[in-house]
């Protein structure tokens, strides 16, 4: 496996190499456009200077004169009209040269070899120690014409600078590699820690200590990661609680079904008792069935992909229908039903909203005392439709209110006789209303009654 560390180091080395090549090409371009002509001009001037100086003192022995000039840092090649040449100073490395060029210089022309392109990279060509890379002029020495070729002895003139430059570049490159090898570890270390933390989460452990103080992307990642681990821990705790609640809700009716079935099988149980037990068994199995339906509904509503199938329908009629279906429940308690249901059209999921009103109305009936009142009203404005379901039943204490929308929450059972609930009804109601972009609020006073207000935005 190629580690991140390995990749960073290799990438850096590649970057350094590519940069060097690019820098070389750019320098070449700069040399070509700016420096080459200047350079050549300077050497051209020096060459003519060498010639004029000599022509002013023709009595000096040519060999002596040229040797002195060469000692000042030049490479010379002097050719007489017989084509016999002498080198002065450090000899040229490459001496191959077209004799025709010499002839031309002897005939009075000048040779400007430095301007003739021979290298793709002219910067390197500038250092080429060759006779072709020189400047040639004719010189009159004691009545004879000589061809004088001059080139600065770069080795001698800037040899030290070249070594220094090479040192500088080489050491920069070397130190960069050493430092990148050391410091890449600091980049890679937190990533390694994150990987270890991920593995621990997969293994079910959510506790971790990470450096969240760094003010960069890695620090941000560590902070987000810690936050994610905490959320996962919460989700896991909720899941465990949920499974515990579900098991409990299933276990208690099953235990009672088993107990009563056993009693029915018992020879000593009277016929009336048997019938009573069978009714209890029937009730408990209905409760189990409603629990599983509610769980399925919640699971489906929890899915992110859940679609609300909106249609336009009459809300007042939907509520009236529910009151007709629940008549036996509220008439049994002799409840006083007050309705204020003006004709109202809404765009919502008919089936889901049916569940909302059914839950709120059956709760109102369930938690009402005989002869209490149940009031249902629709108010509509341009922006929203408001439905109020209000009862004068047993109500709830202030401490219970914040929990009633929590899954499986059931208020103190000893207070109310109706213990058939699952504690899921209101969480389903809230979820459905949220899916419709609306909100639900509750007001309640112990012993006086409860009011649920649902706001549904008009679409």
Residue ranges that bind ligand ADP, judged by CB under 6 A: 359, 363-364, 367, 391, 393-396, 404, 409-411, 421-427, 450
| Separation between Cα atoms, residue 169 and residue 14, nearest integer Å | 16
Handedness of CA 424, 425, 431, 432 (dihedral sign): positive
CB of 363 to ligand ADP, least distance (A): 4
Q: Which residue, 396 or 456, is less far from ligand ADP as judged by CB?
A: 396
Report which of 423, 453, 426, 425 is spatially closest to residue 439, judged by C-alpha positions: 453
CB of 449 to ligand ADP, least distance (A): 7
Residue nearest to ligand ADP (CB): 421
Report which of 335, 447, 458, 337 is spatially closest to residue 389, judged by C-alpha positions: 337
Report which of 150, 153, 173 is spatially closest to residue 43, judged by C-alpha positions: 150
- Long-range contact set of residues 320-328: C-beta below 8 Å, sequence gap at least 24: 322/354, 322/357, 322/358, 322/361, 323/361, 323/376, 326/358, 326/361, 326/362, 326/365
Q: Which residue, 51 or 431, is less far from ligand ADP as judged by CB?
A: 431
CB of 242 to ligand ADP, least distance (A): 15
Alpha helices (runs of H) in 212-349, residue ranges in sequence order: 217-265, 271-302, 315-325, 327-332
Report which of 83, 64, 67 is spatially closest to residue 75, judged by C-alpha positions: 67
Question: In the chain, what is the greatest distance between 2 CA atoms, to the nearest angstrom?
Answer: 155
CB of 319 to ligand ADP, least distance (A): 16
Q: Which residue, 314 or 410, is less far from ligand ADP as judged by CB?
A: 410
CB 137 within 8 A of CB 43: no
Q: Which residue, 347 or 416, is less far from ligand ADP as judged by CB?
A: 416
CB of 403 to ligand ADP, least distance (A): 8
Q: Which residue, 50 or 365, is less far from ligand ADP as judged by CB?
A: 365
Q: Which residue, 139 or 319, is less far from ligand ADP as judged by CB?
A: 319
CB of 404 to ligand ADP, least distance (A): 4
CB of 191 to ligand ADP, least distance (A): 46
Q: Which residue, 62 or 425, is less far from ligand ADP as judged by CB?
A: 425
């Amino acid at each position: 496996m190629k580690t991140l560390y390995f990749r960073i180091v290799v990438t850096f080395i590649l970057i350094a190499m590519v940069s060097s090549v690019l820098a070389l090409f750019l320098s070449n371009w700069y040399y070509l456009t700016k420096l080459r002509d200047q350079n050549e001009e300077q050497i051209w001037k020096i060459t003519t200077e060498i010639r004029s100086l000599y022509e002013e003192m023709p009595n000096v022995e040519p060999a002596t004169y040229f040797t002195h000039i060469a000692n000042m840092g030049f490479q010379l090649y002097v050719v007489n009209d017989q084509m016999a040449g002498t080198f002065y100073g450090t000899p040229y490395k490459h001496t191959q040269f077209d004799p025709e060029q010499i002839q031309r210089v002897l005939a009075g022309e000048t040779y400007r070899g430095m301007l003739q392109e021979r290298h793709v990279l002219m910067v390197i060509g500038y250092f080429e120690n060759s006779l072709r890379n020189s400047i040639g002029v004719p010189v009159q020495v004691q009545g004879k014409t000589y061809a004088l070729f001059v080139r600065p002895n770069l080795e001698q003139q800037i040899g030290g600078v070249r070594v220094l430059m090479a040192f500088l570049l080489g050491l920069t490159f070397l130190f960069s590699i050493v430092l990148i090898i050391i410091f890449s570890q600091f980049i890679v270390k937190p990533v390694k820690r994150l990987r270890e933390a991920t593995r621990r989460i997969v293994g079910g452990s959510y506790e971790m200590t990470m450096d969240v103080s760094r003010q960069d992307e890695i620090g941000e990642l560590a902070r987000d990661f810690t936050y994610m681990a905490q959320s996962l821990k919460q989700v896991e705790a909720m899941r465990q609680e949920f499974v515990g609640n579900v098991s409990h809700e299933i276990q208690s009716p099953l235990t009672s079904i088993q107990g009563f079935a056993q009693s029915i099988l018992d020879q000593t149980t009277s016929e009336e008792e048997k019938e009573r037990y069978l009714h209890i068994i029937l009730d408990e199995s209905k409760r189990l069935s409603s629990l599983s339906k509610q769980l399925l509904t919640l699971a489906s509503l929890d899915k992110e992909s859940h679609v609300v199938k909106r249609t336009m329908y009459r809300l007042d009629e939907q509520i009236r229908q529910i009151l007709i279906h629940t008549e036996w429940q509220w008439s049994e308690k002799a409840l006083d039903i007050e309705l204020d249901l003006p004709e109202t059209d809404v765009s919502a999921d008919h089936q889901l909203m049916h569940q909302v009103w059914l839950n709120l109305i059956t709760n109102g009936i369930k938690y009402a005392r005989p002869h209490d009142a149940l009031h249902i009203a629709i108010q509509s404005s341009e922006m929203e439709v408001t439905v109020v379901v209000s009862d004068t039943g047993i109500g709830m204490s202030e401490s219970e209110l914040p929990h009633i929308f929590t899954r499986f929450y059931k208020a103190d059972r000893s207070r109310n006789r109706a213990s058939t609930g699952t504690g899921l009804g209101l969480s389903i109601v809230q979820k459905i209303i949220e899916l419709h972009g609306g909100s639900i609020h509750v007001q309640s006073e112990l012993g006086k009654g409860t009011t649920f207000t649902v706001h549904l935005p008009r679409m």
